[in-house]
Structure 1
Amino acid sequence: MGFRFPSAIRAKQLIQRPSSNAKDVPKGFLAVYVADENNTKRFVIPVSYLNQPSFQDLLSQAEEEFGFEHPMGGLTIPCREDAFIDLISRLNA
């Protein structure tokens, strides 16, 4: 079962969560932080994304930049928010 989003804007609205409370993350999802030089945003994404090669590339970048000591206390991915949303939209297609 997959999700289909008509646009990147819709994808952003569905995966971005305003709260940082761990209990806001439903079963089968995980919270990640997307950080660039100016901004950090929290997103809740399906765990199944971890198996996707394009998402694994982002995880490798996160490991290179942060190691396993993430400053936000959770998985932080170093990339622009628009690039992350584009990737998520393609994974949902």
Structure 2
Amino acid sequence: MGLMRLSSSIYILKCFSRFCNRKYHWDVPKGHLAVYVGEEQKRRFVVPMSYLEQPLFQNLLRQLEEKFGFDHPMGGITLSCQEDMFNQLTTILHCL
């Protein structure tokens, strides 16, 4: 189980490093990443990279990957979920 988390985290970090090589990474503070959230229209959030280590965030990423796959056409991680759900999750993670 720990190995699965590690491989998922490594995959996410690889995607993030590809994002860093794009021209628009300058507006994301160091230690953060851009995440595009929404089912139809995508809204951009900048979240701490430490969220990638949180089981709740990893679980969200895993569920969305299984359902939709990962698609990053906007230069950041794209999550096809409701903004309200994402806001609730980030509020919880911020308090941890």
How far apart in 1 are the matches of 2:46 and 2:81?
A: 16
Normalising by structure 2, what TM-score?
0.65
Distance 1:80 1:68, change over 3 A: closer
Mapping of residues 5-84 of structure 1, within 5 Å: 21-36=24-39, 38-84=40-86
**Which runs of 5 or more structure 2 residues have no equivalent in the other structure?**
1-23
The secondary structure found in structure 2 opposite 1:55 is: helix
**Which runs of 5 or more structure 1 residues have no equivalent in the other structure?**
1-20
How far apart in 1 are the matches of 2:55 and 2:68?
A: 20
Higher helix share: 2
Aligned length, in residue pairs: 72
Alpha-carbon contact 1:32-1:77 (below 8 Å) kept: yes
Amino acid at match of 2:47: I
Highest RCO, 1 vs 2 (Cα 8 Å, sep ≥ 6):
1
Identity of aligned residues (%): 57
The secondary structure found in structure 1 opposite 2:30 is: coil
